[in-house]
């Protein structure tokens, strides 16, 4: 795919990731990383969480959320580095760090979600 042709695709990933992040992440973050650890709400048991994680639909959902959210970050952060820091001369490095990071995260997520016991 030529350099030009890939930009619409990357923007599409960024948009999809942005929508998913906006709709789904706030409640997950609030419950799982604030309300439950700080005791504001009764935390679910280990068994309950594992049972949720075992369901195929949940794993597909989590994979889509993680992967697209990472590509959302990658695209936005790449442009922030361009514009905010004006360090365009290391374009290739920025692209590698951002999209490479998203790809690595996606690979990790797929491995973890595939190998649920």
Partner 1 sequence: MKEAPAHTPYHPRWYRSRVSTYWWLGKWAHLKFILREISSVFVAVFVVLLLLEIWALERGPGAYAEFQRWLESPPLVALSLLSFFFVVFHAITWFSLAPRAMVVRLRGTRLPDAVIAGSNYLAWLIVSVIIGWALLGG
Partner 2 sequence: MGETIELEVTRYTPERDREPSRQTYAVPLRKDWTVLDGLNHIKDREDGSLTFRWSCRMGICGSCGMMVNGEPKLTCATFLFRYAPGPVRVEPLRYFPIIRDLVVAINDFMAKLQAVKPWIIREEEKALAEGEYLQTPQQLEVYKQYSMCINCMICYAACPVYGLDPLFAGPAAIALAQRYNMDSRDQGAAERLSILSQHEGIWGCTFVGECTKVCPKQVDPAGAIQQYKLTAAKKWIQGLLMPWGAK
Closest CB to partner 2 among residues 8, 117 = 8
Place of tokens 């419950």: 31
Q: Which of residues 18-47 bind partner 1 (CB under 8 A)?
A: 18-19, 21-34, 36-38, 41-44, 46
Is residue 79 within 8 A of residue 108, CB to CB? The reply is: no
**Is there binding between residue 113 and partner 1 (CB under 8 A)?**
yes
Report the alpha-carbon distance of residue 95 to residue 13 in Å, rounded: 15
Residue 92 Cβ vs partner 1, minimum distance, rounded to whole Å:
19
Residue 17 in tokens: 């990731």
Q: Which of residues 5-34 bind partner 2 (CB under 8 A)?
A: 5, 7-9, 11-12, 15
According to DSSP, residue 89 is labeled G
Instruction: Map residues 48-87 to x or -, x wherever contact with partner 2 holds by CB under 8 A.
Output: -------------------------------x--xx--x-
Angle between helices 56-85 and 3-30 (to 10 degrees): 120
Angle made by CA atoms 109, 83, 8, in degrees to the nearest 5: 55
* Farthest CA pair distance, the chain: 52
Closest CB to partner 1 among residues 1, 57 = 57
Contact set with partner 1 (CB under 8 A): 17-19, 21-34, 36-38, 41-44, 46, 48-50, 52-53, 62, 65-66, 69-70, 72-73, 76-77, 79-80, 84-86, 101, 105, 108-109, 112-113, 115-117
């Amino acid at each position: 795919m030529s350099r030009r042709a890939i930009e619409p695709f990357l923007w599409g990933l960024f948009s999809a990731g942005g929508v998913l992040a906006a709709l789904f992440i706030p409640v997950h973050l609030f419950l799982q990383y604030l309300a439950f650890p700080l005791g504001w709400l009764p935390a679910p048991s280990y068994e309950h969480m594992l049972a949720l994680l075992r369901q195929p639909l949940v794993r597909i959902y989590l994979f889509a959320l993680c992967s697209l959210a990472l590509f959302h970050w990658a695209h936005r952060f790449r442009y922030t580095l361009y514009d905010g820091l004006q360090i365009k001369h290391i374009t290739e490095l920025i692209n590698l760090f951002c999209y490479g990071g998203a790809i690595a995260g996606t690979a990790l997520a797929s491995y973890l979600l595939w190998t649920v016991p």
